[in-house]
C-alpha cells in the first residue's frame, strides 16, 4: 500500500518576469512536482497574468513561462485557482489560460490552502 502524496500550496502573487530568473514561481512549482509533491496553485493579483497564453515574452528575449505551467501536469497532480476578481477581469472571448484554472473567492482559497502540508508565497 502506497503512502498518500504530500500536497504543497503555491500562492503566486507576482507578475510574470519580476524575479531574477524571470520565472521563479514556475521553477518552484516544477521542482515540487519533480520531487513527487501534488501541487495546488493559487493565483492572486498580478500573479494571474502568469497563466495568460497571450503574454509570452519571446519578443523581449525573455524565457517562455506558459509552456512550463502547461507541462507541470505531466509531472504531478495539479489543481489551479485564480482569484475570482482577476478571473472575471481577465476572462474574455480571446483569453486562453495555460492551465485549467477555476475562479475562487479569497475564503475558498484560504480553506484550500489550510489543507496543504506546506505553503509558499511568491
- What is the block-wise mean pLDDT of the chain (122 residues), using blocks of 10 residues? 74 78 82 94 92 62 66 92 93 80 95 94 86
Cell numbers linked to 69: 505551467
Task: Provide the CATH number for the domain around residue 99.
Answer: 3.40.1260.10
Tell whether 103 is covered by a domain. yes
Cell numbers linked to 71: 507541462
Beta bridge partners of 10: 41, 120
Tell whether 75 is covered by a domain. yes
- Looking at residue 23, its pLDDT comes to 77
- Looking at residue 2, its pLDDT comes to 43
* Boundaries of domain holding 50: 7-121
- Looking at residue 110, its pLDDT comes to 95
Residue 58 near residue 17, CB atoms below 8 Å:
no
Tell whether 96 is covered by a domain. yes
Tell whether 1 is covered by a domain. no
The total number of structural domains in the chain stands at 1
Tell whether 2 is covered by a domain. no
- Looking at residue 56, its pLDDT comes to 54
What are the tens digits of pLDDT across the range 28-60? 999 999 999 999 999 999 899 888 876 555 554
- As a whole number of angstroms, the distance between CA 34 and CA 87 comes to 28
Listed residue (46, 44, 53) closest to 80, CA to CA: 44
Give the three-state DSSP class for 81. Answer: strand
Amino acid at each position: 500500500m502506497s503512502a498518500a502524496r504530500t500536497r504543497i500550496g503555491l500562492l503566486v502573487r507576482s507578475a510574470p518576469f519580476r524575479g531574477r530568473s524571470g520565472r521563479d514561481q514556475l521553477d518552484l512549482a516544477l521542482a515540487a512536482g519533480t520531487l513527487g509533491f501534488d501541487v495546488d496553485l493559487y493565483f492572486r493579483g498580478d500573479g494571474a497574468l502568469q497563466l495568460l497564453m497571450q503574454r509570452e515574452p519571446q519578443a523581449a528575449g525573455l524565457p517562455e513561462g506558459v509552456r512550463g505551467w502547461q507541462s507541470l501536469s505531466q509531472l504531478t497532480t495539479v489543481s489551479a485557482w485564480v482569484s475570482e476578481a482577476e478571473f472575471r477581469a481577465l476572462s474574455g472571448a480571446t483569453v486562453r489560460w495555460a492551465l485549467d484554472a477555476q475562479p475562487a473567492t479569497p475564503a475558498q482559497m484560504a480553506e484550500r490552502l489550510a489543507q496543504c502540508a506546506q505553503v509558499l508565497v511568491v
